[in-house]
Amino acid sequence: MGGLRVAHYLNQFFGGVGGEDLADAPPQARPGAVGPGTLLQQCLGEGATVVGTVICGDNRMAEQQAATLPAVLALLRDLRPDLVVAGPAFNAGRYGLACAAVCGAAVRELGVPAVTGLFPENPGREALDRSVIAAVVGATAAGMKADMEHVARLALKLARKEPLGPADVEGYLPTGRRVNEFSDRTGAERMVEMLVRKLRKEPYVSELVVPQFDRVRPAPPVADLASATLGIVTTSGVVRAGNPEGIESWRATKWARYPLAGLEALSPEAFTCVHGGYDNRYIRQDPHRAVPLDVLRRYLREGRVGRLHEVLYTTVGNVMPVERARRLGREVAQELRDASVQAVLFTAT
Amino acid sequence: MGIPVAFCSAIPTIPLAAGVPRVIHGKAVPYLLGDPSLPGDREYALREALTARALATLTMEVTEPTVFTAGG
Amino acid sequence: MELEIATYRVRDVEFGPATALRDGILSIDRPALIAHLLEDANLQAVDVEIARPGDSTRIIHILDSVEPRLKVSGGRDFPGLLAPPDLAGSGRTHRLDGVAVIGTANLSGAADSQGLKEAIIDMAGPGARYHPFGRTANVVLMLEPRAGLAATEAVAACRRACLRAAVFLARPTRALAPDRVDAFTLAPADPGLPRVAYVMPVMSEGEIHTTFFYGRSVQSLPHLVHPNEILDGALVSADYWIGCHRSPTYLYQNEPVIRELYRRHGRDFDFVGVLLCRCLITSQEEKWRQANQAAKVARMLDLHGAVITMSNGGHAYVDQMLLCQQLERAGVATVLGVDEYADADGADFPLVTYVPEATAIVSVGNQEEIVEWPAVERVLGGTAFLAGNAYEKGFQRRPDEPLTVALRQIYCSTTQLGWSTLRGRAY
């Protein structure tokens, strides 16, 4: 044995420390392979050596991750690994979350490839970094031998910097990266074939799995708008005449902030619309159709709204990549927070 | 603690799928808070109704993504 | 409804003294074709060129593409547009296999949906496999509508010209023997087979970007259509928006999903028909109304399964996803055809929206992949990329220079009707 140095991460159960009663076990290292590590070593073969094993209780990692993960990482770093393997965790939820966290940290902090094994419904899946490969394994350790072979095969490929094929072919959970390829069958043939399989209740592989968006935790309401500060945000593409900030008509990369103080209304001379996803002439004729400043001014005079944060935050919400939308949203939210805005009117087309 | 947002959208299906809690159903994509086919005063009344509805949601407790319409 | 489509294989196209088909060579009387198209008073100039597979040619400003067809019995050519709206889908129709009419025009682009978007194809090199016309000999029309026409009238004149050219080119087949005849009829199937429909939302955004069904812009609630009607010219594209996911008339005449459903009809399922729907509807109420009505029709048809495609993108996904949701709730197993917005590096969430019921999806590819194709010797359709589109990556160059653009600009590269083998894959 020799070649690649492999560090293996296990929970207290597979690491032989104890059962659920020892799920608080702190991070600890053992030389060489432990428990399923012996099988891992067999599967890796001659070219790689399991140089050590880091074990940690699942509850310890789940409940005190901020303190525990660095300790695990330090023990892994001492092993000077070329590759980190965690688990496999099968369908064990806390173990899966721990394996995902350990692998993500190994890639980020140690700069080495990291592989785990998860059953597709393991909640650890949601905690996976895009850089981590999670081999698809069974729900329980009953298929440990075949599953470990699978984990080891993917781990060796990564360690040897061999390119991985598509997720469904190689048997790992999609990392979120999409690649265009030419298939041997047309899209129409694949659609009809998938329908036949679905009707016959035969297995089929959807070419795109809809992930869950972030759920937004509803913010508590304001007690009384008449004493609150209101902010206005829009993705309708209403911009100053001439679009001086150069906001793109789709896939926008930026947002703009316009002072509203002293403005009673949004005139079509001073404001226009550059959204490229719909027929925007009606907004250009009257920007209030997207940003109701006319109504808000009246409500402010009547005292129905306490104060206005006198800034319009605007961009174009036309097929903006989700990651970019998150970033722009965070930036605007920070401004609103800094201005002590208590409630927001958001207009999206 | 988050800031409550009244999210006016012509296509509520999209913010609902994204889990937005307070969604107000606007008029249409090209005129979210208006209707060019209406005379000016009636169009303003429509916008005011939608805006008032949106602002009202900011003082309401919501527990899950919910669509509000101007009518109720 | 019984339709016979007689296929005449065309190996090459050339200009000649008369329009004729001989030994697989289509000869075109160019002045006669131009004069024929100029009979339309709304066209002030027409030119015609030929672009063959392997030519170092780039075609830009594409509006629509049409397969040359001639109705010889049982109906009219492009009913509703070139003739009264007689029912299509019966009788005998001749088609030229291996030829496409490609209509181009330098009409005003705009940053919003009231203008036209650029649409490009390459006839040689790596780009030739990304669109359906890299294997056809293409008769490229360069159309100039009369000055001062409204955009809707200008595109209407171009649309008519493409259809009229298609009929003109197929006329020589009238008395000739075909290479092959295919019969299309929905023969009664074993009642034990699952009942399957094709739910087909077509572009229906507004005045300019729409789809014509028997000459009328599709505005109705879900409409039950015989697949033969679509194969036989009842459906004509008027989508001039994002180039990659347009559904051109050519692909309605050769609708890939309908062809595949026909191929397996009576064996794997009973193909009941096509439910013609709309997408990119601008009102949410109409989106809900459509999905509910489609589910009602599905129940009345006692459907078990449906393929649901879509046209173009953006909030068209909402129309498709709501159809999926309501059909699934009505007990209909669905499969969706989509293209992706996964960003240039493939790392972004690929759909505009989704419903949890969308569990069987076929992806025809990520339209945001950046492609780099070499310079070409000849450009047809125009001398500069369409005005109003200059903010797009790659459009600051001349069109004959090396092309670096997103697939979004490549005509039909990710059409959700699934003509191509391109697919998006999870890594």
Q: Does B37 touch chain C (CB under 8 A)?
A: no
Cβ separation B31–A216 shorter than 8 A: no
Q: Does C408 touch chain B (CB under 8 A)?
A: no
φ/ψ bin of C426: left (φ > 0), alpha (ψ from -120 to 50), beta (otherwise): beta
Cβ separation B10–C318 shorter than 8 A: no
Cβ separation C113–A198 shorter than 8 A: no
pLDDT, residue A211, reads 66
Q: Does C112 touch chain B (CB under 8 A)?
A: no
**Helix H or strand E segment including C405:** strand C403-406
Q: Find which of C320, C335, C366 to mutate to test the A interface (most A CBs within 10 Å of its CB).
A: C335
Q: Does B17 touch chain C (CB under 8 A)?
A: yes
The mean per-residue pLDDT over the stretch C236-257 comes to: 97
Q: Does A235 touch chain B (CB under 8 A)?
A: no
- pLDDT, mean over chain A: 94
**Percent of chain C topping pLDDT 90:** 92
pLDDT, residue A202, reads 96
What predicted TM-score, i.e. pTM, was given to this entire model? 0.84
User: How many CB pairs below 8 A link A and B?
Assistant: 138
> Looking at the predicted structure, is the pLDDT value of residue A79 above 80?
yes
- Please state the ipTM of this predicted complex: 0.98
Of B14, B18, B28, the CB nearest to C318: B14
pLDDT tens digits for range C352-391 = 999 989 999 999 999 999 999 999 999 999 999 988 777 7
Q: Give C111's pLDDT tier (boundaries 50, 70, 90).
A: low
CA of B20: how far to CAs of A326, B14, C211, C284, in Å?
13, 9, 33, 17
pLDDT tens digits for range A104-113 = 999 999 999 9
B41/chain C closest Cα distance in angstroms: 23
pLDDT tens digits for range A282-311 = 999 999 999 999 999 999 999 999 999 999
CA of C85: how far to CAs of A102, C88, C91, C229, C327, in Å?
67, 8, 15, 11, 31
CB burial of residue C347 (10 Å; 0-12, 13-18, 19+) = middle
Cβ separation B10–C284 shorter than 8 A: yes
CA of A25: how far to CAs of A15, A37, C309, C402, C407, in Å?
11, 19, 53, 62, 53
Q: Give A322's pLDDT tier (boundaries 50, 70, 90).
A: confident
Q: Does B28 touch chain C (CB under 8 A)?
A: yes
Please, are residues A193 and A151 in contact by the beta-carbon 8 Å criterion? no
Please, are residues A253 and A324 in contact by the beta-carbon 8 Å criterion? yes
Helix/strand/coil (H, E, C) string of chain A? CCCEEEEEEEECCCCCCCCHHHCCCCCEEEECCCCHHHHHHHHHCCCEEEEEEEEECHHHHHHCHHHHHHHHHHHHHHCCCCEEEEEEEECCHHHHHHHHHHHHHHHHHHCCCEEEEECCCCHHHHHCCCCCEEEECCCCHHHHHHHHHHHHHHHHHHHCCCCCCCHHHHCECCCCCEEEEECCCCHHHHHHHHHHHHHCCCCCCCCCCCCCCCCCCCCCCCCCHHHCEEEEEECECEEECCCCCCCCCCCCCCCEEEECCCCCCCCCCCEEECCCCCCCHHHHHCHHHCCCHHHHHHHHHHCCCCEEEEEEEECECCCCCHHHHHHHHHHHHHHHHHCCCCEEEEEEC
Cβ separation B8–A346 shorter than 8 A: yes
Cβ separation A208–C361 shorter than 8 A: yes
Task: Compare all CA atoms of chain B with the CA of A299 and give the residue at the minimum distance.
Answer: B52
Q: Find which of A178, A197, A278 to mutate to test the C interface (most C CBs within 10 Å of its CB).
A: A178
Task: Compare all CA atoms of chain A with the CA of C346 and give the residue at the minimum distance.
Answer: A178
